[in-house]
Chain A
């Protein structure tokens, strides 16, 4: 087999989106919800854009008793329902001919033999040189089994020894530091770290990527991006939905593990990192890791003053009665799992000394909204002091991650008229209206990056373990607190009073989203 990474001079000068290498995408759990809602629609859109490799196929491997035709119908249903662009009958036939399905149990060695045979057949038919991207869309408890069987069946080529094998792992990357280390060692027993892509779809979102460009591509922000000019930062990831059908999983996870340990800390890293000296994947990830290492640990009694956890009770969302968390399906009626977390943290380095970062996330909040808001320090209240009770509001730069991806800058203006009246206004940028079309889904970008071998937007082992190390302090304090009582907030509100107190004790307010 030829070296899959041999140089191709004809690709020089083509943009990065078309440098995905010929490969087969093998989706473990390919008949699941993630495939239907995200992966298959993302692949379809990539095909529409003509950026998938020409020598490309998808082989789904899962327990359902599908065949290729049934799987193609399943894919079409997913694309029709969830794709940002509808399934075009004229294009569909070509797209679906590269979709295949292998039924089998993840712990059955014979199923892996069947999978291997199918892969070889597909690769021969499509001229794919043995490159494989394996997407593990399966519960974490099955990862070890799958990885071992993959190796035993000869489905893993060691890094640099021929065609590539890359593996994509979905969160949760463990349950705590110990389990994360265990998971990493299972993966790294078979794969090299360079072959492992830990996916956090938040990092594929346009605004998140744009944050790096905004920070380091504009001269006006970076000089102000430090403790001299920034008062504080707020990161919010609010969900309107409850736990739905994921009660069983959520009971074991809770908001801190489900959102803070991964998504929110990653957003924090991009917000707080130093300018990297290159956009090379490992350089960017080194600088993000430095932020995680700089997080001041919240331990012991500090957890009570810096972290609020709560659980939603019954309430109204969009005018509809919704049950409290403990009444949700597969949830313990006496559960003490948090569905809301608010916390205050500090990054102990020169740039961020003394600048609090307030993070909050929760389920059953009034709306789905994620943003990073940087509030600058107030100007001296000296010149425009007609109304001492209404000081000039500080500038706020808000990056909306979802929905309505974009950013706004709150600035102070004079209202037109004979009197000097100060008024805050928003300079607003929205991706959809400015660029005139819908941004690609995060999975589109991330899948293409894996095919191209670009790990910049994926989490490295050390970052995963560093974030767990920091989160474990809080989990430990909670487990040793001896209390099972959690504050409750009515569904459809912005969280408990304790969260308000957390920020108000610093004379600040949560942003109204």
Chain B
């Protein structure tokens, strides 16, 4: 490959995309790798082509495609894959673009830096009627015998996404979406929960990146409230407060849904909306539990603070969970003595969340349970 490589974070090198005719993609890829292997002194050096998954990414417009293409470097450095980036609603000089394709290599150092591990990306763009051709193009490029993940990187929730999504979904073993992008969190949560709940065995496993992003929160909360550490805290929980940035409401619901479904709380009917704050009541085994979800302006979408409170020995006690600097999540006690607990949790990028998701193809029943509670919360709010 004569194209100049571009160094990126994590030592990933991506070659400049080579425009190709759709029918010749496989042969161009084959010759690309043959040339590289035969030329250890070339731009990439000694390399190994690795592929553990097919990753179908769907996004809208060239700008988003550029953003995603940069994220691919990080994804394939964690999960070497054949990436097929499908871009729809593409314009060329203000008009719908005809089908166009390009291939590129994305490599990172491994084995103590002695070799390059490389993945390949095929980018196919289309506008107007040619968007209908994207599924057939993808179908021919998927490598059989490898799992296929579909990252639906658009603001439209998958069940509302129309023909393109529904033609691609049967090709996938896993569908990944992000509820952070939804313009209407209530409709998105209702529709998505119903869709996920209706999926049959054999259909793709579905995952929300917002749920994946909760993993460190779940870990810190579950360990900090562990009965061996704080006896009675879990059973005695009486209040949960969750703060999030704009577009983070579905994630806040998922977090609340996780706690509620794990602890067997049943959402009550009362929903109170007060400015940026929404409250619900849950019925738990030991009494009612209040949930407050609050939007904080000027912060990133994800959940940014969680407070859990309970009564211990007649006194109120609480733990507040919040980021502490760029790489930690901290749990701070109120009403009792305890050292602030820290969990190393470097801020997750979208790409790192997607890469982690690609490695997890099993259905997540905890997610499904959380989503069903989230649906109840959304439904209550829609009726308010």
Q: Which residues of B contact A430 (CB under 8 A)?
A: 48, 111
A78-127 interface (Cβ within 8 A of B): 90-91, 94-95, 125-127
User: Shortest CB–CB separation between residue B325 and chain A, in angstroms?
Assistant: 8
A residues near B366, Cβ cutoff 8 Å:
12-13
Most B C-beta atoms less than 10 A away, residue of A163, A404, A436: A436
> Across the interface, do A94 and B328 meet the contact criterion of CB distance under 8 Å?
yes
Q: Closest residue to B337 on the A side, CB-wise?
A: A124
Q: Which of A49-57, A280-288, A482-490 contacts B (4 or more CB under 8 A)?
A: A49-57
Range, interface on chain A: 35 or more
Pair count A-B, CB < 8 A:
125
B121 CB to closest chain A CB (Å) equals 15
CB distance from A13 to the nearest CB of B (A): 3
Which residues 391-409 of A have a CB within 8 angstroms of B?
A: 404
Contact present for B78 and A163 (CB under 8 Å) = no
A interface residue numbers (CB < 8 A to B): 2-14, 18, 21-22, 47-50, 53-55, 90-91, 94-95, 125-129, 131, 163, 404, 430, 432-438
With A2-B227, A126-B339, A433-B117 as given contacts, are A11 and B216 in contact (CB-CB < 8 Å)? no
Cross-chain contact A14 with B218 (CB below 8 angstroms): yes
Q: List 26 A-B contacts (CB under 8 A).
A: A2-B231, A5-B228, A7-B227, A8-B225, A8-B228, A9-B234, A10-B218, A10-B234, A10-B258, A12-B262, A18-B219, A22-B229, A54-B224, A55-B226, A91-B327, A94-B342, A94-B344, A127-B224, A127-B341, A129-B229, A432-B111, A433-B110, A434-B50, A434-B80, A435-B52, A436-B117
Q: Which residue of B has the minimal Cβ distance to A128?
A: B229
Residues of A within 8 A of B252 (CB): none
> Please, which residues of chain A bring their CB within 8 A of the CB of B80?
434-436
Establish whether residues A8 and B227, one from each chain, have CB atoms under 8 Å apart when the complex forms: yes
- B328: chain A residues within 8 A (beta carbon): 94
Q: Identify the B interface with A (CB < 8 A).
A: 48, 50, 52, 76-80, 108, 110-111, 115, 117, 216, 218-231, 234, 258-259, 262-264, 325-328, 331, 338-339, 341-345, 364-366
Contact A54 B228 (CB under 8 A): no
Known: A433-B50, A436-B76. A4 touches B331 (CB 8 A): no
Tell me if A9 and B226 are in contact (CB < 8 A). Answer: no
Partner of A127, one of B78, B229, B258, B325: B229
User: Do A55 and B341 contact each other (CB < 8 Å), given the known contacts A2-B228, A8-B227, A436-B110?
Assistant: yes
Q: In the bound complex, what is the Cα–Cα distance between A18 and B214 (angstroms)?
A: 14
Please name all residues of chain B whose beta carbon is closer than 8 Å to the beta carbon of A54 when the two chains form the complex.
Answer: 219-220, 223-224, 331, 341-343
Residues of A within 8 A of B230 (CB): 127
Contacts of B220 in A (CB 8 A): 54
Contacts of B365 in A (CB 8 A): 13
Q: Which residues of A contact B218 (CB under 8 A)?
A: 10, 14
Q: Are A8 and B226 in contact (CB under 8 A)?
A: yes
